[in-house]
Structure formats: structure tokens, C-alpha cells
A and B are shown apart, each in its own frame.
Chain A
Amino acid sequence: MTKEKRKNDLSDTLIIVPAYNEEENIERVVDHLIEEFPQYDYVVINDASKDRTFEIIKRKKYNCLDLPINLGLSGGFQAGMKYAYIKGYSYVVQIDGDGQHRPEYIESMKEKMDEGYDIVIGSRYLEKKKPESARTVGSIMIEAALRLTTGGWIKDPTSGMRMYDRKVIEAYNKNANFRPEPDTISCLINNGARVAEVPVVMDERVGGTSYLTPANALKYMVQMMVSILFIQDIKRKNKGEMIK
């Protein structure tokens, strides 16, 4: 019955579920979305998975963008943003296909959004202190770089669970360099986007492997730091041009 309802009226919030080789998780994650959260629309982005992900999606008849070639997380997410833009959604939330993000928090993110923000980040470290590990060292460095370029504190810049409003969806559609990463957040803040955080709890991934392997982590860090410090902050000059 909820499925019928979903088809008939368009929700104003779209959940983007990027999935690359997520055969172990995708069914659990999307079924959970469909059963518990019929008030939101969702779209799975199958980023040319090499395993059975697309078979499962087809069998379960999930709403899906099937990319013919692998674009990576950024390209896949942008495809979802394009879909949201064309279909006219007002809000977009990213929920990873590995089940790390709990959709229960979408409601509190939406409430925060209604207070007048453009981006709401689901933050793991708003109430809890960061545990000391190699991963959080990276997080702290990015946090400092964001502080330097934007002047604002973002406790959990690398959190993948973010909600964007219509203005940001539009900005994503105009700029090929925008990706669901902290450097884009930095650029958006400098262009007048207001960012808030709400506390969330994230689960450990249950099966499959992450996009961000330890080998890629260092490369990711160098890229983020260079991008935030040297590339993104300049757009401050044309402040307010992209957003608004």
C-alpha cells in the first residue's frame, strides 16, 4: 500500500543512495527505506557495479539510475543531483548504500534545514569527542583547513550524510567540480551557503568494502587539503553569485 502511495504523489525530499558493488547491503538498506520511510522518495545510483548489485535492483524493482560506466562516488552522486534537479525536488539527502547512515535522522536534519540553512550535515562528533585514530587526524586537519578558509567550525566535515536544499542542488548541476566532499562545502560556504550540523550516530559497515581504502586515504587527504586551501577559496570574490 505504501508503495502505491509513493508512486502517486511526489515527495519533496529525495534520498540518493550511491551503490558500487554493494550486493551484500543494498537490499537491506533500500528495503528499510521503502518500509519505514515511505514519505521520502529515493533513487539508487548503480555506479556500474561489477557484482550482483544491479541484478538485485532489477529483481526488487527499485527506483534506480544505472550508470553504464563507472564514474566514482562523485560522478554517481552528481547523476543523482541531476535527477533531483530535473524532477524538481526541494531537498536531497545522501544515504550510502553500505548502510552506515541511518535514515531516522533525516527528520531532524529537515527540521534544522527549516530554520534557514542550505546544507545540514549529519555530524558524528557534535556531542561525542573524536576518537583518536588515523582517520580522525585527517578529519581534524580538514576541519582546520575549513576553519581557515571559511571561518566556520564544522565538526564532522567528512561525514557523507548531508542534506542539501534546492539552491545547492542547482549549484551542483552547474559545476562539474562539485562533489560530495568537504572541499565543495568550503566553496559553497564562501558563496553564501549556510551550513548547520545535527548530531547523528553512524553504524559500521556490515559487508562489502568501502570506496575509501586505506591506500586511498592519503591521496584523499592531499587532494582535500590542496583543494580547500588553494583551489576552492578564491571563489570568495564572486560571493553570492552561485547561491541565491
Chain B
Amino acid sequence: MTLQLRIILFAVSALTMIMIIKRVRTSRMRIDDAVFWIVFSFLLLILSIFPKIIWFISDLAGIETPANFLFILIFFVLIIRLFQLNIKLSQLESKMQELVQRIAVDETLKRETVEKVISKNESGSLIEDGSKNMTDSQDMLMREAAASGTDDGEKNDISHT
């Protein structure tokens, strides 16, 4: 390994580390996620200062060219990271779905109770409107119950077979 190459490697990894730390600080990145990148760039820096580590481990593992070991190492780390990110993304998506559904149900429940209170308080012709709303919502509830009933029926069928 020539001196020039080592200097270039060191410079590049040092710059990478500085860039990552700077961006992590200025962006509103969550600390848990930022930690991986800081550790990763630190690792690159260490390897550029002591490239013998790569030689040593690749000898140990029986890999002929140290460059291959480096590729495997970084590939592996990044694949694991990608997998973790994918898990997180899936969890986020299902969490968001749950939240949206919950908000929608809560809003509807709130509206229903408000409508009930209004229809109780108001008199005369408005009572009819209120009762109409009531029957509408009752209708909907009944339909929902019927739908869930058939769902249960299907489930029962499946469990029987």
C-alpha cells in the first residue's frame, strides 16, 4: 500500500465522518438512527488508519485478497442495516394505519354524540331531523353488526372445516 493511497483513504474517511456528524446535527434526525452512522463512519476512519486490521482478519478467515474481505464486511453491514430499516418502515406503516383508523373512529363517535345531544335539545320540526339522523346511524350500526355477523360466520365455518 503506497503512502499516497493511505493518505487519500484517511482524508476521504475523515471527511465522511465530519460530513455525517455535521449533517446529523443540523438535520432533525433521531438520535437512535444517527448513532449507527456515526459508529459506521468511525469504523471507516479506524480502518483507514490501521489497514493492517483488514489483512489480519482476512488471513484469519482464509480469504485470499483483503479487498474481498472489505467488500464482504461492508456489504454485510449495509444489508443488515437495510433489513432493520425495512422492519422499521413496516412498523411505521402499520402504526400510522392504526392511528389514522383510530382518529377516524374517534371523530365519528364524537360527531354522533354531538348530534344526539343536539337532537335531544332542539324542539319542533328539528326533532324529526334528529330522529332521522338517529335512524340513519342506527341503520349503519345494524348493517355493521350484520357484516361482522357474517364475518364471524365465515370464521366459524373455517374453524369447523
Contacts and interface: CB of A to CB of B under 8 A. Distances in A.
Interface of A: 68-69, 176-177, 183, 222-223, 226-227, 230-231, 234-235
B116 interface: no
Given A222-B35, A222-B39, A226-B35, A68 B28 contact: no
Contacts of A234: 25
Interface string B11-26: 0000000000100110
B140 to A, nearest CB: 23
Given A177-B30, A234-B25, A69 B99 contact: yes
18 contacts: A69-B98, A176-B28, A176-B30, A222-B35, A222-B39, A223-B31, A223-B32, A226-B34, A226-B38, A226-B39, A227-B31, A227-B34, A230-B24, A231-B21, A231-B31, A231-B34, A231-B38, A234-B25
A235 B22 CA distance: 11
B102 interface: yes
B101 to A, nearest CB: 9
A177 B32 CA distance: 9
A142 to B, nearest CB: 14
A176 B24 CA distance: 14
Contact of A227 (B28, B35, B98): B35
B24 to A, nearest CB: 6
Contacts of B25: 231, 234-235
Interface residues of B, number: 15
Query: What are the nearest 10 A-B pairs in CB distance?
Result: A226-B35, A227-B31, A234-B25, A69-B95, A68-B102, A223-B35, A226-B38, A230-B38, A230-B21, A177-B31
Contacts of B34: 226-227, 231
B31 A183 contact: yes
Chain A at the B interface: mostly helix, strand, loop or mixed?
Answer: helix
Contacts of B102: 68
Contacts of B21: 230-231
Given A226-B38, A230-B38, A68 B99 contact: yes
Nearest to B98: A69
Interface string B102-128: 100000000000000000000000000
Given A176-B30, A222-B35, 11 more contacts: A68-B98, A69-B95, A176-B28, A222-B39, A223-B35, A226-B34, A226-B35, A227-B35, A230-B21, A231-B25, A231-B34
Contacts of B32: 223
Contacts of B28: 176-177
A40 to B, nearest CB: 30
B19 to A, nearest CB: 13
A68 B105 CA distance: 13
A69 B98 CA distance: 8
- The residue among A69, A183, A227, A230 with the most chain B CB atoms within 10 A of its own CB is A230
B62 to A, nearest CB: 30
A68 B106 CA distance: 12
A233 to B, nearest CB: 9
Contacts of A227: 31, 34-35
Nearest to A181: B31
Contacts of A183: 31
Contacts of B38: 226, 230-231
Contacts of A223: 31-32, 35
A240 B24 CA distance: 21
A51 B31 CA distance: 29
Contacts of B95: 69
A231 B24 contact: yes
Contacts of B99: 68-69
